[in-house]
């Protein structure tokens, strides 16, 4: 495990690059995480350098997402309050090298899920959810070669979290719906694309339970009021300044964002 001062120093480096919109090749050797545990320890320091935790994201819940950043499975990251954009708002492209938008299924928790000895079941996690929301994630990495950075550094890099857009809570009975077969309609530059719930770890609800259990293993409580966005339901879509990305989840609601 990295020394405590090295963990703090690594986090400061990554946060500074995020604020500056700049990139680095890799953390210097003495600061570089060698394991998922190291990566999460660096990521956790973010909470001391940002104005509050909005919720959590999951990177690489789909095969296309895993290929995009070259990892073998999901990674958890923090959504900080100062990275959230209002539905229908505008996202800055400054410093964004990844330049993709991702339509996502998101959930707001109604009850805490604290660490415990045994894993949470999907049903237990769903029982703790308060509302469902359509969402868009705009990821990015502080690493120039994010596909070559490796799992531990990407976790330290907050699992490629950058900006996030949360739609209104749905009034539909989402619990009675088969989210696996939901197919959000995506519009970008006049083209239409179709997402698929099954692209999110096979089921967005399974992805949500994965996040709860990933935090459980780290000794972290998934808290009431926090939002969890479960990963893209469509291969990441290239975006550029002047674009407008809109996602229609049908009865589950809509969400959109522009780019400048």
5-47 confidence digits (pLDDT tens): 999 999 999 999 999 999 999 999 999 999 999 999 999 999 9
SS3 state at 62 = coil
146-179 confidence digits (pLDDT tens): 999 999 999 999 999 999 999 999 999 999 999 9
- Within 8 A by CB and 6+ apart from 48, the residues are none
- Of 96, 97, 36, the closest CA to residue 72 belongs to 36
Q: How far apart are CA 137 and CA 97, in angstroms?
A: 14
- Within 8 A by CB and 6+ apart from 60, the residues are 66, 68, 69, 71, 73, 74, 75, 231
Cβ atoms < 10 Å from Cβ of 229:
31
- Can you give the pTM of this predicted structure? 0.95
Question: With contact defined as beta carbons under 8 Å apart, do 16 and 8 qualify?
Answer: no
Looking at residue 30, its pLDDT comes to 97
Mean pLDDT across 110-117: 98
Looking at residue 1, its pLDDT comes to 86
Band the pLDDT of 67: cuts 50, 70, 90: confident
Question: With contact defined as beta carbons under 8 Å apart, do 26 and 10 qualify?
Answer: no
């Amino acid at each position: 495990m990295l020394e405590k001062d090295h963990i703090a120093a690594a986090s400061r480096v990554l946060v500074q690059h995020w604020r500056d919109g700049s990139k680095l090749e890799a953390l210097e050797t003495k600061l570089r995480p060698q394991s998922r545990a190291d990566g999460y320890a660096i990521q956790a320091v973010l909470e001391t350098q940002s104005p509050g935790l909005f919720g959590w994201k999951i990177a690489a819940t789909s095969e296309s997402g895993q290929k995009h950043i070259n990892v073998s499975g999901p990674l958890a990251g923090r959504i900080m309050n100062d990275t959230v954009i209002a539905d229908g708002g505008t996202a800055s492209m400054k410093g964004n090298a990844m330049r993709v938008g991702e339509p996502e299924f998101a959930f707001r928790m109604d009850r805490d899920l604290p660490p415990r000895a045994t894993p949470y079941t999907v049903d237990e996690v769903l029982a703790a959810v308060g509302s469902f929301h359509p969402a868009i994630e705009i990821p990015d990495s502080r690493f120039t070669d994010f596909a070559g950075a490796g799992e531990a550094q990407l976790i330290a890099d907050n699992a490629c979290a950058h900006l996030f857009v949360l739609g209104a809570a749905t009034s539909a009975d989402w619990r009675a719906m088969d989210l696996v077969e939901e197919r959000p309609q995506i519009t970008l530059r006049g083209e239409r694309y179709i997402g698929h719930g099954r692209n999110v770890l096979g089921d967005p609800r399974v992805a949500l339970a994965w996040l709860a259990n990933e935090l459980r293993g780290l000794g972290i409580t998934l808290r009431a009021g926090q939002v969890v966005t479960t990963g893209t339901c469509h291969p990441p879509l290239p975006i550029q300044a002047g674009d407008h990305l809109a996602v229609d989840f049908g009865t589950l609601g809509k969400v959109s964002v522009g780019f400048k």
